[in-house]
Structure 1
Amino acid sequence: MYWIVFIFIAGCALFEIRNKRVNNSAFYTIFTVLVLMTVLRQGQGTDYYNYMEIYKEVGVISERTPLALLIMKDPLFSLINYAFIQLGVGYKLFSAIFSFIIMMLLYRFYKTSCHRSAVALFMLYATFYLVYPFSGIRQGLTMAIVLGILYPLLKKRSYWKYYIILFITSFIHQSVLICALFPLVYRMRIRSSTLIFIGAICTVVMVLGINWIELLPLPDMISGRAEEYTEVSSSTKYLAMMVRLLVVFPTFLVSDKKYRENPELNGIRNIIFMGFVVFAMLSFSDLIASRMSIYFRMFEGLFIFLLLFQSGLKRLNMQIGVYYFFIACILFTKDIGAFISQGEYRNCNIITYPYLTVFDDNQTIMYYRHNLSSADRIE
């Protein structure tokens, strides 16, 4: 199922690149499929059942001491859970509604900012869709707010509104505060030679994995949260580094003149590059680096659209398209492999990883799942 959708969206994207124009019908068809897949899913990804446990926990705590929700980690998310519980909404419906809201915020971004581009949707599906709207819905919502609400404010220079909404959103997931950097870098004019120099230094830091954060006098709340993830290491660490380098490389294909002529292309280039810097500086922890840099990487779809159609590199359209198709295949395969491993799936592989829906019974789900943890119990 997942690979069928992957091939379909990739075909639409390549057709768009070849014809050098956006196909509205393809965009709406793709997005409708993505919304339905998200809303009707059950148990997909690595966090679906973990959020079920959080939903139960909020219900128990709210019955005893409702005010305790305000001092929980990420209190606004707890209050959102509490509101749905008070309305008598079960977890499956809550998850569906929550995911639908995420997709509608993403729709606003991909329709308006990405001009209904199938290329941009392809990067969404291949790199973020299965991980966030599908699984990590809490950070998925903050990412969608950044794209659908904060980015338009950034373009309009509505900085007060931007920071107020950003501050409120941080009570859903604290990591979104890294987006406070966006207004600082978006309109900067930086020569490519300077970025290459900075990038070289960051690459060295990234490979060495220097943990400089231990030297900073951070507040207990932040330092304590960081320590939870500092020791986490991944077997795909160097693959992640390679992908970051591959993603940032095309930003140097465009001349400084073209960046000066296209303020949005320049701004997105700056965000993409800043994401590489953030990832490199936090590379001592795979999880911290990934969670913090993801807000910058979300703009890759828009950057590729601008790179293909507004950068003066149209003669390289197909080459650039194939380049990003290669990167997307790596990321998509890695994500599905991680889901199978972390979810302890059986009777499937990377190609046959199942799409499970709310219409599937427990017997069907248990055919694929193995040795579920207490956080993965199915109701």
Structure 2
Amino acid sequence: MIYVVLLILFAILSIMAVIDNRRKKYYYIISLSLILLASLRDGVGTDWKSYYNFYIYGASDIEVGYATLNNFFSAQGFSFNFFLLIVNVLSIFLISRGTLKLSAIPAISLMIYFSDLYLYFNFSGMRQAIALSFSIYSLTFCIGKKRNIYLFLIVLLCAISFHISAIVFAIAYFVPQRSLNKKEIIFLIIGFTFFSSLVFFASSFLTGLFASKAEYYLEIEQQSSDIKSLFIIGIFRRLIPLVVLFIFSKKYIFKDSTSVYLFNLYLIGLGIYLTTYLISPDVGVRLSVYFTVLEMFLLANLVFFAKKFQIKVILLLIIFSLCSYKLSTYFKYPAYEYKSIIEGM
């Protein structure tokens, strides 16, 4: 299967990136591969039909950013796959630019993204794929000398124009870029309690709002008969990066302000997931993903900061195992069986 071949390739490139100081060339190869894989697909993804119909018949009852982009290229008579190329160039370019700023080893970060959220969004929830990409890029204006709330908000508004759920990421600019103190932790707990109550009372509206924008729910969510079991699996999947961080970090990763900031944001995503999933799985996943996606940077930075080569090897094996597991969860869904337009030529 092409996904397995690419994962192995990306793993090899990630290892080479760890050894070679010239890391950018490996991330360029992975970025190009991700663009081509998503652009050349034919009928792949749980929402292929919905987005294809948007393109053929026009999009109106969805966010203005995607509708404008969709209708412009459709009116020019370009093929749907050419439009997919434009969408994925935009999405992967933004993620890649953010990765260069936030990750010490970009190849590892992109491999982690490929193993799960790439298929989840770039192959299915394309509007949120672009919104997520803008959100990741917006973080470059939250750190260092480029910290600029106006540019952050402009980029975030672009994200919201593609998927309304990105509005939750507005809090990212105000999250401390240092270890949280006791008062801030208590404040977060109170905040999550309030947020879960808000989602409880507005869950029907929020779920309807997200769903009405496109006729699509991922089969992974639709076919689940045991929400509590999925919730527990989701918790373990989100806790594993934290366990790995605490076992192997030995405090050096937490001396890097960017990594501390990303860690704090990841905790917020975990909190959103824990307090909202059982109320509304769709809302819980969509809102928390803007923060939990940052594991792709945290784990890559952990490898970089590890001082012993043996530790780097162990971490790479753990990361590859996690990526393999996440990728394997998509194999049982026929909608993800890869077909390319090249095959039909």
TM range (shorter): 0.7 to 0.9
Residues 73 and 137 (structure 1), Cα distance of their counterparts in 2 relative to 1, 3 Å cut: closer
The match for 1:55 is 55
Which letter does structure 2 place at the counterpart of 1:283?
Answer: Y
1:105 CA displacement: 1.7
Q: Pick the aligned partner of 1:356 from 336, 339, 345.
A: 339
Pick which of 31-40 and 261-270 moved more: 31-40
The amino acid of 1:178's aligned partner reads V
Query: Does 1:80 find its partner at 2:64?
Result: no
Kindly indicate whether residue 149 of structure 2 is the aligned counterpart of residue 152 of structure 1.
no
1:175 is displaced (CA, Å) by 0.8
Q: Does 1:132 align with 2:121?
A: yes
In 2, Cα distance between equivalents of 1:193 and 1:317: 35
TM-score norm. by structure 1 comes to 0.74
Matched, 1:89 2:84: no
Shift of 1:171: 2.4
Q: Secondary structure at the match of 1:170?
A: helix
Q: Once the two structures are superposed, what CA deviation does each residue of 1:279-327 show, in whole Å capped at 9, x if it has no partner? A: 1111213222221111112221211121122366766322222222222
Tell me which amino acid in the other structure corresponds to 2:300.
F
Task: Report how far residue 191 of structure 1 moved.
Answer: 5.3
Write the distance in 2 (CA, Å) between the matches of 1:250 and 1:333: 21
Instruction: Tell whether the 8 Å contact from 1:154 to 1:183 is kept in structure 2 after alignment.
Output: yes
1:300 counterpart letter in structure 2: E
> Equivalent residue of 1:269, what SS?
helix
Query: AA paired with 1:360?
Result: E
CA 1:125–1:215 in structure 2 vs 1: closer, same or farther (change >3 Å)?
closer
Contact 1:192 1:252 in 2 (8 A): no
- Asked if the contact 2:115/2:326 (under 8 Å) is kept, the reply is yes
Mapped to 1, the partners of 2:184 and 2:317 lie a distance apart of 28
Give the count of matched residue pairs.
327
Instruction: Give 3-state SS (helix, strand or coil) of 2:277's partner.
Output: coil
Question: With structure 2 as the length reference, what TM-score do the two structures score?
Answer: 0.81
- C-alpha distance after superposition, 1:206-249 (max 9, x if no partner): xxxx9744654x599647427988x9673544322221121232
Task: Report how far residue 86 of structure 1 moved.
Answer: 2.4
Distance (Å, rounded) in 2 between the aligned partners of 1:301 and 1:226: 25
Task: Tell me, in whole angstroms, the C-alpha distance in 1 between the residues paired with 2:150 and 2:99.
Answer: 24
Structure 1 position 307 matched with structure 2 position 308: no
Distance 2:176 2:311 in 1: 26
* Rg larger for: 1
Partners of 2:121 and 2:129 within 8 A in 1: yes
Q: Quick one: percent identity of the two aligned structures? A: 18
234, 258, 264: which one pairs with 1:264? 258
User: Aligned in 2, Cα 1:169/1:25: closer, same or farther, shift over 3 Å?
Assistant: closer
Which amino acid in structure 2 is aligned with residue 154 of structure 1? C
Q: 1:14 to 1:178 in 2, by over 3 A?
A: same
On the 8 A contact 1:191/1:256 being kept in 2, the answer is no
